Amino acid sequence: MRFPAISVKTVALGAAAATAAGLASAYTAADADAFVAGPGQMVARITGPGSINDTVGRYNVIGTDLGILWDNGRREVLAAFGDTQSFNGWSLLRGNLFALRSNMLLRSRDPHLSDGLHFTGHSGPPGHAKRVVKASRRDVTIVPTGGISVGGKQYMGMQAINLWGDPGRWQTRYGAIAVSKNNGRTFKQIVAKRPNYKGNRKFQQIAFLKDGGYVYTYGTPSGRFGAVYLGRVPEDKIANLGAYEYWANGHWVKGPSLATPIMSAPTGELSVAYNKYIGRYVSLSTRDGAALRTAPRPEGPWTKPHIIVPASNPVGGYAPFIHPWSLDGPTMYFTYSIWHGYQVYFMKVNLRRG
């Protein structure tokens, strides 16, 4: 996401604070707080100067955000980041202290998460985590929204942002999926493209869940103030937008215009997974900080959100993304971006069986 820089207008993208715009669905009897054993806690800072990863020296990453995590099916976790600051001689000649690349990707094989998430590689030449999806001249930036591995390929949800607005509000030109056939080194193919128009407005940002032979796509409109909508597609048809069906008032139907909310507004920067320890599906999202919901099925009904990290501590926190290797025990780990300093932190929350 956007950050302070010498020649770029600063837009604060701190945690959204807004009033919920109605209910998404009937809530289950067990609210999300029944599964939370305590507040979210910071484990370590994982990007930037002084972090547990030398991202400046190893990857030329000074500041960044997001850290969307998914298992690539090869005993490795891929981490997609948003707008990234780096040193660049050409930027200095143009009067900018930092250069901007719209996104980049790091890798981790670290199974020991209690002391933080350690990166073990990147996509790009030595010493530089490159931009993996390039923005066109019509867009300000390309920002990842989710990731999943299907059939040996890596699929990364992305949003093409063409206008930054007030804090927590931005405008996309389209949402889509970028495809990599070489384990995230390059994402050359763009599929399932959704122009920001009519029903596709609901799916400008997507999070993925693979379950029962389907890929579920949890969609939100541009920004952090929309509700959450659900689509699904057979795994082998993930690139075919016409093969998707959508959850509408308790039924699967064709056409995104018919999709009805499964989680209430305001919700942004969503991640979804099945947590074996509590035996329920879980989601984390930006909502007055970081909020957790649970559900018995991918479509819900989803519980009311439980704030595990308040917007006031740390100030400017947003975008909690679940680590896929922390779903079978009482501690669930996630990345969390902090606007002040523009870095990504590794967090944890302790769960209990309801």
Residue 192 belongs to some domain of the structure: yes
Scanning 98-243, the segments in alpha helix (DSSP H) are: none
Alpha-carbon distance of 141 to 6, in angstroms, equals 17
Structural domain including 179 reads 32-350
Residue 170 belongs to some domain of the structure: yes
216 has pLDDT over 90:
yes
Residue 13 belongs to some domain of the structure: no
- Provide the CB-side half-sphere exposure for 41 (13 A, CA): 12
Residue 3 belongs to some domain of the structure: no
Alpha-carbon distance of 102 to 66, in angstroms, equals 12
Residue 210 belongs to some domain of the structure: yes
The model's confidence at residue 3, banded by pLDDT at 50, 70 and 90, is very low
pLDDT digits (tens, 9 = 90+) for 28-61: 446 899 999 999 999 999 999 999 999 999 999 9
341 CB neighbour count, 10 Å cutoff: 16
Count up the domains in the chain and report the number: 1
pLDDT digits (tens, 9 = 90+) for 89-133: 554 445 455 678 899 999 999 999 999 999 999 999 999 999 999
335 has pLDDT over 90:
yes
The model's confidence at residue 1, banded by pLDDT at 50, 70 and 90, is low
Alpha-carbon distance of 159 to 143, in angstroms, equals 5
Residue 27 belongs to some domain of the structure: no
Residue 24 belongs to some domain of the structure: no
Residue 6 belongs to some domain of the structure: no
pLDDT digits (tens, 9 = 90+) for 248-262: 999 999 999 999 999
Residue in 174, 250, 246, 257 with CA at minimum distance from that of residue 216? 246
Residue in 51, 74, 78 with CA at minimum distance from that of residue 66? 78
CATH for 292 = 2.115.10
Residue in 315, 228, 349 with CA at minimum distance from that of residue 13? 315
DSSP 203: G
pLDDT digits (tens, 9 = 90+) for 261-285: 999 999 999 999 999 999 999 999 9
DSSP 298: T
